[in-house]
Structure 1
């Protein structure tokens, strides 16, 4: 690991000043001006976000939520993209005090998957109906080192199950060197994702006392190396519960601004994980800065307004009720039927091997049915990454609204594929209603594209996209 210089774009003093300046609450007129600005889909400044973080008045919160719903619908429509995490390992060299995977935890059954076990996990995910997954694990590789990751990605892409396959792999692994990121890009991944956990240096030091992860600057500069290596779709996010959520949101805004200044495009996704209980971690049982459901909904809504074209990801840390609320407020991607322990799909037995406690234990089919019944469209689309619509190219299509001409039909064709190949009778019934409702709202040209693509799927063709 190369020692990195202290990053300069993160200004903790400015964040603390912004929080202090809004401590007395938010001015109603100013809040409404910001919400009006957000409704134009141009995003918000760090100062704007600081004001929205201070909103507590029930009427203003309702307006905040309403505006977030409007913006989310305008950009993403009713689509909810689905994926699943595939944990290759729970072995880690770090000592993150809130995580079950931390090195000193003796209460965890340790495991790292062989290539054959990765293939079995992939097959089990395909048999559920998944088309995209997030490859993730503890921050340690076996004896083969980084090559293990390259081999795992190649093995996953090689698995075919009837008509099913994994078409896109996102990756969440420890920070890499720039040359390693170049090799990672060459494997054909989608998004590289990594969480800073907390942007507050003092808290970060307390929560990460040892291991490579203890180097704050090495971790917070990871996206610079990834993007310098040509990976233009990256995903960031803090772990809410370690520090004041307002600080983390404002620091995230500074991170976004830095990436936009340095590379011309910000993150493709932002994740919003809340700390959940983890085996062997007292900190996880009583988070230092517990985030209430009310504040969590505000976080999602504010981020949707602040960075309207960025995907917001919600994991199975949250329960079904919160997930339904989150769809409306701005979340555009969720995991479904997830396991957070290595080997958990091929051998679905709860073990003392998971990273955290899940809030949603439902199988994928039930999650899909719930999405459809709520008026949304489950999407298994992976088209943009294979068509080269990434980074700045994606944003060039997204900002004028052109991306909807691809995303809408692709969502429907991939959902139709799921229903025909994997959906239960009840899920298909709910899905057909959701599909009909969505087609009815489309412009005639886009509706025709969608109907043609779905007809091809019904006739037996697979992986239909534009």
Structure 2
């Protein structure tokens, strides 16, 4: 992918785009050093980022050979060096053997179970300018923030479908979606769901502690890309621009008492092999530091967004994605691996038999439209979606598809005592 794939070309800008460009140039956050914490951002003492980035920078995957891959697959325990070999181009001809090994590891640690959840987007206001995201503050979309009554109605509709795990998402705006607002949404969710995750803007330890007290079980944060220089070029303004604060979000969440954390890069933004390495190492080092934590990985690829249907992962095909997931499973056999509705039905149905342990179902990335999607009722006021999904099956359809494959769908395996 070209270095300037998502960058603004000032010679091709419309008048509206030029106004955006000038606003960016005048915004203090756009001029801020992307490696320097902004006011109010908590800085913790941790060496994990340095470890991950050092390994990533030193990874020259073109140096690995077929013999390196064979040795990696022959070992009972996959270490970091073996994982690097399995992510390399040299491993692509061995994808069938990797899949067989991954399937064994998945069965050993998870049996034949597949976990189901659904996301609910409660607001799409955002203060960041991330050029690949449909929610970015300069994208001309319908904005909406659900009130508490609307949140409860949406959650009731989802719960009535049979779902027991939910992931609450917002755009990254403290002003529109305060920590207190998110906390109240979590309290409502606790009335309907057994397991609650959040995917919001990164916050400080005390705020994660508050959200955990409201009922949050796990926290998901996408680093997007682990290349700090590329990260700066993709995040032109807003608090998300600060690379280390985002990197340390999962650790702050664990310090705040949450049970589990999830990691991901958005594959296709940068070199997908290095980003996949960094994602897994981020989880690996944090697990060693916090052995009680439940760890999960996701593997999202770029998807088209409102007003831009050309945003796609140019170098990450399904074969490469399968290689990454199999390598993840062999290296980290105990972690959960989630495959979202960004991927097509045929891929999701296949990968749950090999490496993935969790998939979403009955998904909408818009705001306030679950009732219309689930029950056919016309929604009076909705907000636009973050990205286009590829698998639009309902909860019942996904549940049945998993059953038809001889697997066991799981909607909850956690009991509060």
TM-score by length of 1: 0.75
**2: distance between equivalents of 1:16 and 1:266?**
27
Q: Give the number of the structure with larger relative contact order, counting CA–CA contacts within 8 Å between residues 6 or more apart.
A: 2
The farther-off stretch of 264-273 and 228-237 is: 264-273
**1: distance between equivalents of 2:354 and 2:65?**
20
Aligned to 2:413: 382
In the TM superposition, 1:189-268 aligns within 5 A as 189-265=216-292, 268=295
Counterpart among 93, 102, 108 of residue 74 in structure 1: 108
Shift of 1:31: 2.2
Please state if 1:356 is matched with 2:387. Answer: yes
Shift of 1:12: 3.7
Shift of 1:265: 5.0
- Structure 1 residues 89 and 266: CA distance shift in structure 2, 3 A: same
Aligned to 2:298: 271
In the TM superposition, 1:46-445 aligns within 5 A as 46-56=80-90, 60-106=94-140, 108-141=141-174, 145-158=178-191, 165-265=192-292, 268-281=295-308, 285-287=311-313, 289-348=314-373, 353-383=384-414, 386=416
Shift of 1:173: 1.0
Shift of 1:217: 0.7
**2: distance between equivalents of 1:58 and 1:302?**
11
Q: 2:370 aligns to what SS in structure 1? A: coil
- Structure 1 residues 139 and 334: CA distance shift in structure 2, 3 A: same
Instruction: Calculate the aligned-residue CA RMSD, in Å.
Output: 2.2
**1: distance between equivalents of 2:261 and 2:409?**
23
Retained in 2: the 8 A contact 1:55–1:61? Answer: no
Q: 2:237 aligns to what SS in structure 1? A: coil
The farther-off stretch of 228-237 and 124-133 is: 228-237
1:52-73 deviations in whole A, cap 9, x for unaligned?
1125466522111111111111
1:355-413 deviations in whole A, cap 9, x for unaligned?
111110111111111111112111112326x36xxxxxxxxxxxxxxxxxxxxxxxxxx
- Structure 1 residues 254 and 222: CA distance shift in structure 2, 3 A: same
Retained in 2: the 8 A contact 1:15–1:250? Answer: yes
**1: distance between equivalents of 2:274 and 2:294?**
19
Shift of 1:238: 0.8
Q: 1:9 aligns to what SS in structure 2? A: helix
- Structure 1 residues 138 and 241: CA distance shift in structure 2, 3 A: same
**2: distance between equivalents of 1:136 and 1:65?**
32
- Structure 1 residues 279 and 258: CA distance shift in structure 2, 3 A: same
Shift of 1:232: 3.6
> Larger helix proportion, structure 1 or 2?
1
Structure 1 unmatched ranges of 5 or more: 159-164, 388-466
**2: distance between equivalents of 1:143 and 1:205?**
24
Structure 2 unmatched ranges of 5 or more: 1-39
**1: distance between equivalents of 2:267 and 2:253?**
24
- Structure 1 residues 230 and 11: CA distance shift in structure 2, 3 A: closer
Retained in 2: the 8 A contact 1:193–1:236? Answer: yes
Aligned to 1:392: none
**2: distance between equivalents of 1:58 and 1:210?**
38
- Structure 1 residues 118 and 16: CA distance shift in structure 2, 3 A: same
1:114-143 deviations in whole A, cap 9, x for unaligned?
000001110110121111100111012456
Shift of 1:352: 6.6
1:303-353 deviations in whole A, cap 9, x for unaligned?
011111100011111111000121122100000011111112023379770
